Amino acid sequence: MTKIITLTIDDQKVNVPEGTLIVNAAKMVGIDIPVFCYHPKMEPVGMCRQCLVEVGRPVIDRATGQPVIEDGQVKIQFGPKLETACTTVVSEGMVVLTRSEKARQAQKEILEFLLTSHPLDCPVCDKGGECPLQNLTMAFGPSQSRFLYDDKHHAEKHVPLGDKIWLDRERCIQCGRCIRFQEKIAGDPVLAFYQRGRATDIITNSDPPFDSIFSGNTTDICPVGALTTADFRFGARPWEMKAAASICPLCPVGCNIVFNTRREAKSGGKVVIKRVMPRQNEQVNEIWICDRGRFNWHYVEDPTRLAHPLVKKDGKLELASWQEALEATRKHIAGAQIVVVASGRLSNEDLFNLKQLADGLSGQALLYDSLPGGELTTRYGVAAGTNLGDLGAGSAILVAAADLYYEAPIWYLRVKAAAERGANLVIIHPQATRLDKYAKKLIRCEREEVAAKVQELAAELTAAENLIIFFGRTADRRLAETCASLLQGRESKPNNGLIGVWQRANDQGAWELGYKPAADLAKIVEGKVVYLAAADPAGDDPQWAEALKTAKALIVQELFLTETAKLADVVFPAQAFSERDGSYTSGERRVQRFYPATPPLGEARPDFAIAAAVASAAGLEVEGRSALRVMDKIAVSIPAFAGISYGKLAEVTEQWPIVGRGDLYYGGTTYENRQGLGVHLNKHWNIET
């Protein structure tokens, strides 16, 4: 139990745990102390001096050890100088004055100094409108400068720091947040200060430059417009964009994101996505996202996307109406054996409806993925209440045959942080990975031997209080089983469990919904009607293209005219995840909801609705009116999802640090989570099986 300290900040009594910094204590009661270099996710450095406040402490009588009482009140001794609120820890009876004449004057003068060489760029700066320097100058700064305009320091304004991030040297205020983020949080120390004094610059010392998959986060925490993304450059002003909450669909971490959208003349008056920003979820991605999630959304607006159904006539795919396409599908599936092959790119609702379709027609529903062990994660997967951020000393993390940095970057961040907090990190991988330097134990072996090595370490790993095991894309069946065997008896313990580093966002959801992987697709498809959703086997392997030709008929629902779709008899245009609502189940078995950001393209429909329409054409009844209703169906028919509803998924609780409100100076431009933190799946409903 940590001790609670009582102090007074601006006449307000505050109770905070021992060890809290003044700036955080003030934040908790809604008092803003301006900061630039301090960030709640990083250790304080006290570089920018913006947070100067008056601090007084009770005078203690040395003889008695009790506070001195004067005129019936505790005597407070104020220091001769101001103190930085970001480095000073609270103490009992402390009195902090953040808005006294002396403190105000100091804050104003620091801002005046910071602005001596800051260019008057705000109108053309991408940060303008969500800029801490701008906001704090308005709130705390001077209205005029006493420095000579002609003596302004001029520097390069257009420096590419890598191909994704631009640096404007003139705007930089040398707070070092980006450098510290790269060094301490990302573990890629590729940025550094160069030169001194007024000539101080930010440089990158890696080749290729700014070689980090987390580089985009530096633009979020940069308190000025020094670091901006090349992707968004001059895209729009921040106040012109709308925000729509979503979930990143690129890996099984399930980072919470926000799409910023705007109606544009350039895009023919359509509402388009301008950028992706992180959304806070302290149990999933904290306030970070990787560059893949931040910059790889352009495919949803690709002009080559399918907007209308296609039906094969005389060996050629031709545009058709939905009615024609459904009628053609009905004819194909009538009396035939059906195989549904779906990938984890689809939402829970889509996968559920496709399975309903397959089951209703006495067919098979297969998952388009090769990584084994999914049914083990439905049993030994992490339990409700798990938070990788809670792991530390006494916990063990095994990363077997997975390169988290590339396969699931945010898990890399979280595992790295856990290892630094003292967790016993063991890595067994055939090649070197970026996580290696944080491992307590590192084993390099052939892919086939990984399972045996895990077995050797069984005693050491199971001795830990908490055990989390990641197994990755190069894992085999034996490895998955060995990993699961270490977790016997920990099935319902939070912070314990097996995590598959799947290739796609919702592979876990597919497993939970009862999908089995397609063991030998080539054999299964022969003579049957194959219904492919969000899977492109023909594009992935020419052998499968040959195999698919042996099928009786091929029905595809897709975003693009893929190699598989080209072979199809009927192609349905599907809506991208950004155009519809739905939910994904992350690798940590957390169901999270995404919302529509842009209007759908052409006649495209959401995948669950297409499956329902096909089912209805075949005489089955499958819910397809809305994703919400499908989720209600899932909740009653799949035990793991029992009790989950869209209302539940949209619930939020207070998170620390406070970000994304009016106080961008504190946490950066990350969005506050108002649209749902998601819900863990019920623990191991199949435990008795």
Partner 1 sequence: MRVLEPVVELARGLWTTLRSMAEKPVTVQYPEEKRPVKPRFRGRHVLKRYENGLEKCIGCALCAAACPADAIFVEASENTDEERYSPGDRYASTYEINMLRCIYCGFCEDACPTEAIVLGDNYELSFTNRREAIYTKEMLLEPVPPGGLPTPQKTEPGKFTRSVPEMKDPQD
Choosing from 75, 108, 237, 633, the residue that interacts with partner 1 (CB under 8 A) is 237
Q: Which helix (H) or strand (E) holds 573?
A: strand 570-573
| Closer Cβ to partner 1, 167 or 339, answer by number | 167
Burial class, 457, CB count within 10 angstroms (exposed 0-12 / middle 13-18 / buried 19+): middle
Query: At closest approach, how far in Å is the CB of 222 from partner 1?
Result: 17
Instruction: Tell which positions 122-181 bind partner 1, by CB under 8 A.
Output: 122-124, 128, 149, 157-158
The interface region with partner 1, picked from 233-241, 307-315, 342-350, 473-481 by CB under 8 A, is 233-241
| Closer Cβ to partner 1, 3 or 233, answer by number | 233
Query: At closest approach, how far in Å is the CB of 39 from partner 1?
Result: 28
Cβ 351 vs Cβ 506: under 8 Å:
yes
Query: At closest approach, how far in Å is the CB of 260 from partner 1?
Result: 15
| Closer Cβ to partner 1, 170 or 375, answer by number | 170
Residues 6+ apart with CB under 8 A from 290: 213, 214, 216, 255, 409, 410
Q: Cα torsion for 594, 598, 603, 607, to the nearest 10°?
A: -10
Query: At closest approach, how far in Å is the CB of 662 from partner 1?
Result: 17
Query: At closest approach, how far in Å is the CB of 497 from partner 1?
Result: 48
CA 502 to chain centre: 15
Cα separations in angstroms, 374 against 16, 297, 340, 441, 683: 44, 27, 18, 26, 15
| Closer Cβ to partner 1, 4 or 124, answer by number | 124
The interface region with partner 1, picked from 229-237, 307-315, 362-370, 544-552 by CB under 8 A, is 229-237
Query: At closest approach, how far in Å is the CB of 105 from partner 1?
Result: 27
**Residue 332 forms beta bridges with which residues?**
none
Euclidean distance between CA atoms 329 and 291, whole angstroms: 40
Query: At closest approach, how far in Å is the CB of 123 from partner 1?
Result: 3
| Closer Cβ to partner 1, 124 or 139, answer by number | 124
| Closer Cβ to partner 1, 264 or 526, answer by number | 264
Query: At closest approach, how far in Å is the CB of 196 from partner 1?
Result: 25
Query: At closest approach, how far in Å is the CB of 537 from partner 1?
Result: 41
DSSP symbol at 605: B
CA dihedral over 149, 154, 159, 161, signed as positive or negative = negative
In one-letter notation, the amino acid at residue 260 is N
Instruction: Tell which positions 90-119 bind partner 1, by CB under 8 A.
Output: 119
Please state at what angle helix 322-333 crosses helix 607-617, rounded to 10 degrees.
60
| Closer Cβ to partner 1, 109 or 201, answer by number | 201
Euclidean distance between CA atoms 199 and 210, whole angstroms: 21
Choosing from 3, 207, 239, 520, the residue that interacts with partner 1 (CB under 8 A) is 239
Site track 253-292 with partner 1 (rule: CB under 8 A), x = hit: -----------xxx--------------------------
Euclidean distance between CA atoms 341 and 653, whole angstroms: 38
Choosing from 10, 112, 121, 541, the residue that interacts with partner 1 (CB under 8 A) is 121
| Closer Cβ to partner 1, 233 or 316, answer by number | 233
Burial class, 266, CB count within 10 angstroms (exposed 0-12 / middle 13-18 / buried 19+): exposed
Burial class, 34, CB count within 10 angstroms (exposed 0-12 / middle 13-18 / buried 19+): buried
The residue ranges that bind partner 1 (CB under 8 A) are: 119-124, 128, 149, 157-158, 233-234, 236-237, 239-240, 264-266
